[in-house]
Amino acid sequence: MDIRIQKTFEALFALEDVREIFRQSLPNVTSPEEEHSIKEGINKVRKILDDIENCTGTPQVRKIADNINIRSREEMYINIQPIQAAGRLTSEARKALIAYGDGYSVCDACSKPFRLDKIRSPPIGPFHEQLASFLNMDVARVVPGARRGFQAVASTIVNKNDSVIVSALAHYTEFLAVEAAGGIVKEIPVNEHNIVTADLTAEKIEAVKRETGKLPVLVIIDHFDYQYANEHDVKDIAKVAHQYDIPFLYNGAYTVGIMPVDGKDIGADFVVGSGHKSMASPAPSGVLATTNEWAPKIFRTTQMVGDVTKRKFGVKEVEMLGCTLMGSTLIGMMASFPTVRERVHNWEEEVKKSNYLIDGLLAIEGSRVLSEYPRKHTLSKIDTSGNFDIVAHGHKRKGFFLSDELSSKGIVGEFAGATRMWKLNTYGLSWEKVHYMVDTFQEVAEKYKIQVHRTDHFDGNK
């Protein structure tokens, strides 16, 4: 690790040790020993700061809790890992983790009716309202991951052997949520461009009806799928679903938090988003939003009564299991939210960068893009069987030669060893980094005698 980055972590850690002294001391009283430890701690931080300033020193802390490496991927490298890009924390979220790490940290001011989304300090209640408004839906709840949103909806709507329509590019967590509820997934085939359309959806609904004698009970579609990040026609699909009176779940794991999402305009009955995938939030986090029509069903409160005690917990929501996302995970999500809310308006620029990179890769003789092109998303699947994979065949490191070349230039996150079909994500990278990446990929190509059509990537019209 670069020594300055290493030392930045060490300074943070040394300050946590100082903080621990305050935690152990009596209120407003410190003993001479504690004062001594604080002084020592501060001096330690000062020395580390000298090292940062002068690029000096050697690593003193290699592990957390003796067996966990310090993770410096985001500081050291350009990270193009397909699912990590938009979950990278803002600095405010990192500060929130520092201040709210303790387990039940958000519960200090919890009072009647004792439910997470009712807490006003920290402003968790208002955050829930802002989330609903951000998605243009009526009601929102935070959940421990998008999958827990699918689960809540499926568990409410899907009964044993019910059919649920998903796409042939559906994420596996949709499969699992339906399976857990006892239902059966039915996939809509994609068209020749790997796109799910409204017509294909209508055909599938009809087919399920013929086959099972019953209409499907739910349609779940990923706006952009996880395989190609192709855009699917969610608005028209929602219309089709509604023509059959089937509710529509919009899976926004790859949209909510990076591009504008208007649930009402789409016609979504449910909007699910992922905090750690697309909202610059710690894991596991996510959002489930719905309409006033569906909220009483999905967020129904418990009806169970203790047969002996007659206890009721009426305000607690069954599918949420009461409170959902406590502590630092939620506060991290909240701390990133002002940034997230704004950044969705930069989506066009993000897509431009994505296309610039793809064009730069296409300029390398033999590259293909497997995702729809021009790109409408920052996640893309590319095929380098015709160039880097050929090099790999003759290289003693096989496919790892590409990872080696890239990481030596500070680029990581491609699937290590993969040189045929692989995914990358440019979300949130500066133009400077995107330029650097194109240059690097092309330099690697040239190093291995692959032809590069250098002008191609400037016009975006290949």
17 lies in the site for its own copies, by CB under 8 A = yes
From 93-101, 364-372, 396-404, 445-453, give the range in contact with its own copies by CB under 8 A. 93-101
In angstroms, the CA 421 to CA 381 distance is: 7
Tokens matching residue 382: 């590319």
In angstroms, the CA 149 to CA 289 distance is: 9
3, 195, 215, 283: residue in contact with its own copies (rule CB under 8 A):
283
Which positions from 165 through 194 interact with its own copies, judged by CB under 8 A?
168, 170, 172-173, 175-180, 184-189
In angstroms, the CA 81 to CA 423 distance is: 8
From 87-95, 246-254, 360-368, 452-460, give the range in contact with its own copies by CB under 8 A. 87-95
- CB nearer its own copies, residue 100 or residue 387: 100
Minimum separation from the CB atom of position 413 to its own copies (A): 8
In angstroms, the CA 391 to CA 395 distance is: 6
In angstroms, the CA 164 to CA 159 distance is: 10
33, 56, 64, 296: residue in contact with its own copies (rule CB under 8 A):
64
Which positions from 147 through 166 interact with its own copies, judged by CB under 8 A?
147-148, 150-151, 155
In angstroms, the CA 215 to CA 311 distance is: 39
Amino acid, res. 298: I
Minimum separation from the CB atom of position 277 to its own copies (A): 6
From 99-107, 345-353, 370-378, 446-454, give the range in contact with its own copies by CB under 8 A. 99-107
- Which DSSP symbol is given to 26? P
In angstroms, the CA 446 to CA 288 distance is: 47
From 102-110, 367-375, 384-392, 453-461, give the range in contact with its own copies by CB under 8 A. 102-110
Phi first, then psi, for residue 228 (nearest 5°) are: -115, -15
234, 241, 258, 335: residue in contact with its own copies (rule CB under 8 A):
335
Minimum separation from the CB atom of position 189 to its own copies (A): 5
Q: Are 353 and 78 in contact (CB under 8 A)?
A: no
- Cβ count within 10 A of residue 9: 18
217 lies in the site for its own copies, by CB under 8 A = no
Instruction: Report the DSSP beta bridge partners of residue 286.
Output: 143, 274
From 213-221, 259-267, 283-291, 369-377, give the range in contact with its own copies by CB under 8 A. 283-291
In angstroms, the CA 217 to CA 130 distance is: 30
304 lies in the site for its own copies, by CB under 8 A = yes
In angstroms, the CA 225 to CA 327 distance is: 30
From 40-48, 229-237, 369-377, 382-390, give the range in contact with its own copies by CB under 8 A. 40-48
9 lies in the site for its own copies, by CB under 8 A = yes
334, 357, 363, 424: residue in contact with its own copies (rule CB under 8 A):
334
37, 255, 290, 329: residue in contact with its own copies (rule CB under 8 A):
329
84 lies in the site for its own copies, by CB under 8 A = yes
Question: What is the distance of C-alpha 410 from the center of its chain?
Answer: 23
Strands 139-143 and 286-290, how do they pair? antiparallel
Site map (CB under 8 A) of its own copies, residues 374-413, x = contact: -----------------------------------xxx--
- Which DSSP symbol is given to 60? -
92 lies in the site for its own copies, by CB under 8 A = yes
From 82-90, 244-252, 259-267, 453-461, give the range in contact with its own copies by CB under 8 A. 82-90
Minimum separation from the CB atom of position 264 to its own copies (A): 26
Minimum separation from the CB atom of position 84 to its own copies (A): 5
Burial environment of residue 76 by CB neighbours within 10 A (0 to 12, 13 to 18, 19 or more): middle
Question: What is the distance of C-alpha 161 from the center of its chain?
Answer: 31
- Cβ count within 10 A of residue 304: 11
88 lies in the site for its own copies, by CB under 8 A = yes
Q: Are 328 and 116 in contact (CB under 8 A)?
A: no
From 232-240, 386-394, 428-436, 441-449, give the range in contact with its own copies by CB under 8 A. 428-436
Q: Is 256 helix (H, G, I), strand (E, B) or coil?
A: strand
45, 135, 202, 249: residue in contact with its own copies (rule CB under 8 A):
45
55 lies in the site for its own copies, by CB under 8 A = no
Which positions from 105 through 144 interact with its own copies, judged by CB under 8 A?
105-108, 111, 121-123, 144
Q: Are 1 and 59 in contact (CB under 8 A)?
A: yes
